[in-house]
Amino acid sequence: MIEIKSLTKTFGSVEAVKNISITVPKGEIFGLLGENGAGKTTTLRMLATMLKPTSGTATLNGYDIQKEPDRVRGELGILFGGESGLYNRLTVAENISYFGELNNMDKKSIQNRIKYLAEVFEMGDYINRHAGKLSKGMRQKAAFARAIVHDPNILLLDEPSAGLDVSAMIVIQDFIKMQHQLGKTIIFSSHSMVEVDKLCNRIAVIHKGSLIDTDTVENLKTKNKSDNLEEIFIRLVGEKQ
Amino acid sequence: MRLKHTITVLKKEVLDIARDKKSLFSNILLPIIIMPVLMLLVGSGTKKFTQEMKENITVALTQESASPEAQEFLKNQIAIHDENIIIKDPVENPEEAVKTGYVKLVVVLDKDFQIKYERNEPFSIKILFDDSKSSSGGSVSVLERAIEKFNNVTTNKRLEEMGIDPEILTAVVQEKVNMTEGSPGNMILSMLLPMLIAMLVAVGGIPAATDLVAGEKERMTLEPLLTTRASRLSILLGKYFTINIFTFVSVLSTLAGFVISYIINPETITMGMGNVGGVKLQPAAVLLTLAVIVLMGMTFSGIQLAISTFARSFKEGQTYLSMLIFAVMIPSYASMMMQANDIKMYMFSVPVLNTISSLKMILGGVFDYSKLFLALGTSVLYVVLALYLSVLMFKKESVLFRS
C-alpha cells in the first residue's frame, strides 16, 4: 500500500509538486496521467527516496520515505522510460546481477531470478550479450528485469514503454499485468491515455504539479460523460487553466 | 553504509572500465610505450645539444685580420690548448659564416698583434658569435678558456724571462669540494621526478572520475543505481576506490615506461645530463614518502569525484577536471629549481608541495623525519577534507540531479 500525504517539492522558486495526497491500496495499478513536466517523475523520484520532499511525506508498505529510506528502497523497483540506464559494457545478466547484489540478494537467488526473468522477458538469446549492442526494445526489457530482480512488492514505472516498438510494448504491458496478478502494487506514470486506459484500475490526473482528479477510469468516464480518456484529460486540464 | 555494497560497486566499476579498450590503451599501454620514446628523444636531443657546444668548435679569422701570422698564431698558440677547436679558412662575412654553420665563431685580431706580442704589449682578440644560435653562443666559453690558457702560458714565460717566479701572481689557490652525495644526474632527477609523479598522481584518475559520476549522469545510469538498497555513501566509496585504483595504475604504468627508458639507456632519465646514483636511501624515509604520494592520490581522487558529481555532463566534467593540472603545475614549477636543502619547513604542509618536497628531499639524500611526518600528517588531513567534499556533493540533490 502507498500513502502519499500532502507531498510538495519545490526547486528554487518552482513548485514542481503541490500538496499531493493519494492512497494506492495493495495490488492496484494506479496511473499518474499528465503532460511532460506535470510533476509525475518528481513524485516518483520522491517515492523512490531519490529526492527529499520539501513538505509532506509518503509511506510505502508502512515505511516512511523520510525516516526509513533504506527499507522503502527494499520494497520497490523503479523503471524510468526513455533511456534504459543499463551499463553498456556489462552483459544483460551482469546488469541484473549487479542490482541483485546491491539489493542484498545472495548469488544463488540472483542466478535463479536471472533464469526466470530471461524466460519471462524472452531474453534468452541475448542475456549474455553486452547491453550496448542491443536494440531499444531489448534494452528496455533488460532494464525492467533489472528493476525487479529482487522481486519488490511495489513497482514505480515512469513511462516504461516510451519509445518502444509495438512488440516490445506488448511484452512490457503483459508483464505489468502479470505483476498485478501476483498482487504487486504499481504506480504507472504515462502521458499515453490509451496505455493508462488499458492497464490502470484508478488514475490521478496531474497538471502543473497539482492533483486535478483521482478516480477509477470508469467513474471518470461516467462523470465526464465521455468514453474518450483523451477528451476527459483535455477537459480537466482546461478547467484548471 | 555497508562494506559489501562498496565492494560490489568497486568490482563492477573496475570491470566496466577494464572493458573500455580506449581507456585501457590511453591509461596503461600508451604511457608504457610513450615514456621510453619520449625520454630517449629528449635525452639524446639534450646530449647532442651539449656535445654540440663542447665539440667541433670551428673558428675562422675575418678576411681583414687574416694575415699568415694571425692564421699561424690562432692555430699554434690558441687552438693548441683545446683539441676541439678547429681552425678554418678566413671568412669575408662573419654573420653569414656563422648563420650558414661554416664556423661557430669568428675571430678578429689586431693587425699589429705580432709587433705588440713581441714587445710584450697587450693586443686584442675580438670573438664574434651569434647568441641566437646555441651552437655558436654556447661555444664561446671553450675559446675563452683556450685564450685564458694562452694568457697564462705567455705571462708565466715573460715572468720567468724576467727572473720572477710566476707563483708571485697567485695569492690564494682555491679548491672546490661538493659535499653532496651522488652524481650530477641526481640533481636533474630531483628536479624532474617529483614534478612528474605529482602530475601523474593528480591527473591519473581523471578519465575514471569523469566516467563514474558525470558519465553516469549523462547515460542516465545513476538514477536507477540510487534506488537500490545501497546507501549513497556506499556507492560513493565504491566509486572513490575505483578512481584511486586507476590513478595508481596510471602512475605505475608511466613509471614502468620510465624504468624501461632507464634499462635502455640510464642517462635518458636525467635528460642526458649524466647517470644517477650514489645516494643511500633510508627505507623508513622511502616508505613515508610513498605514503605521502598515496595520500596525495587519495586527495585528488576525492576532489575529482566531487567535481565529477558537480558536472552536468561528461564533457562538462572533462572541462572542469582538466583544470586540476594547474593545481599541480604551479607548485611544481615554483619549486622545480629547489634542491633538497632549500626546502622550507612550511612547504611540507602545503598540498601537492608536500609530496614534491618529500620526494626532492629523499632523492637529494636528505632525511629529515620531522618534515616527512609533517607532510604525512597534513596529507591525511587533505584526504579527509577531499572525501568530505565529495560526500557533501554526492548527498546534495541540487548537485546530483543538476541538469
Q: How confident is the model at residue B272 (pLDDT cuts 50, 70, 90)?
A: low
Mean pLDDT, rounded, for A24-30: 93
Instruction: Kindly give, in sequence order, each residue whose CB lies less than 8 Å from that of residue B150, ignoring residues fewer than 6 positions away.
Output: B77, B78, B81
Interface test with B, best of A50, A73, A105, A146 (most B CBs within 10 A): A50
pLDDT tens for residues A52-104?
999 999 999 999 999 999 999 999 999 887 667 899 999 999 999 999 999 99
Contacts of B5 in chain A (CB under 8 A): 101-102
Burial A17-30, CB ≥16 within 10 A → b, else e: bbebebebeebbbb
Check CB contact under 8 Å for A90 and B219.
Answer: no
The answer on pLDDT for B49 being more than 80 is no
- What stretch(es) of chain A map to CATH 3.40.50.300? 1-75+153-241
Where do the structural domains in chain B lie, given as residue ranges? Answer: 3-49+184-400, 55-169
Which residue type is seen at B204?
A: G
Highest CATH level, class, for B55-169:
alpha beta
- Give how far the C-alpha of residue A68 lies from the chain's centroid of Cα atoms, to the nearest Å: 20
Q: B57-62 and B85-91: which strand pairing?
A: parallel
Closest listed residue to residue B32, CA positions, set B356, B255, B226, B271: B255
Spatial CB neighbours of A58, under 8 Å, sequence gap ≥ 6: A2, A3, A4, A5, A7, A46, A47, A64, A65
Q: What percent of chain B has pLDDT over 70?
A: 95
Cα radius of gyration rounded to whole Å, chain A: 18
Per-residue pLDDT at A224: 82
* B9/A103 Cβ within 8 A: no
Of A185, A177, A184, give the one whose Cα is nearest residue A58.
A185
Over range B180-200, report the average pLDDT. Answer: 77
pLDDT in tens, A157-166: 988 877 777 8
Q: Which residues of B touch A100 (CB under 8 A)?
A: none
A&B contacts, CB < 8 Å:
71
Question: What is the spatial distance between Cα A105 and Cα B315, in angstroms, rounded to a whole number?
Answer: 35
Contacting residues of A for B20, CB less than 8 Å apart:
89
3 state DSSP class of B266: helix
At residue A225, the pLDDT reads 83
For residues B56 and B101, give the distance between their C-alpha atoms in angstroms, rounded to a whole number: 11
- Tell me whether residues A102 and B230 touch, CB distance under 8 A: yes
Query: CA B355 from chain center: how many Å?
Result: 15
| pLDDT, tens digit, 9 for 90 and up, residues B333-356 | 888 888 888 889 999 999 999 999
Selected from 3.40.50.2000, 3.40.50.300, 3.40.50.2300, 3.50.50.60, the CATH number assigned to the domain covering A1-75+153-241 reads 3.40.50.300
Burial of A133 (0-12, 13-18, 19+ CB in 10 A): exposed
Contact assessment for residue B205 and residue B321, using Cβ atoms and an 8 Å cutoff: no
Q: With contacts defined as CB-CB under 8 Å, which chain B residues touch A101?
A: 4-5, 8
Q: How far is B234 from chain A (nearest CA, A)?
A: 10
Q: Estimate the share of chain A in helix, then strand, then coil, as percent rounded to the nearest 5.
A: 40, 25, 35
Provide mean pLDDT across the span B130-146.
Answer: 86
Nearest CA to B17 out of B202, B209, B203 is that of B209
- A162 and B CB contact within 8 Å: no
DSSP state, B111? Answer: T
- State residue B196's pLDDT score: 86
* C-alpha span between A127 and A120 (Å, rounded): 12
For the stretch B53-89, pLDDT in tens is: 778 899 999 998 888 899 999 999 999 998 899 999 9
Could you give the CA distance from residue B250 to residue B253 in angstroms, rounded to a whole number?
5
Question: Measured between CB atoms, does A98 come within 8 Å of chain B?
Answer: yes
Mutation choice for B interface testing from A72, A90, A102, A140 by most B CBs within 10 A: A102
Chain B: residues touching A (Cβ < 8 Å): 4-5, 8-9, 12, 15-16, 19-20, 219-221, 223-231, 397-398, 401
Contact list in B for residue A73 (CB cut-off 8 A) is 227-229
Inter-chain contact A70–B229, Cβ cutoff 8 Å? yes
Torsion, CA A127, CA A128, CA A130, CA A136, rounded to 10: -20
**How confident is the model over A161-203, as pLDDT tens digits?**
777 778 778 878 888 888 899 999 999 888 778 888 888 889 9
In angstroms, the CA B377 to CA B375 distance is 6
CB-based contact, A50 to chain B, within 8 Å: yes
What number of other Cβ atoms are within 10 A of residue B202's Cβ?
26
Question: Per the CB < 8 Å rule, is A80 touching B224?
Answer: yes
Burial class (CB in 10 A: 0-12, 13-18, 19+), A229: buried
Please tell me the pTM assigned to this model.
0.82
Question: Residue A115 pLDDT more than 90?
Answer: yes
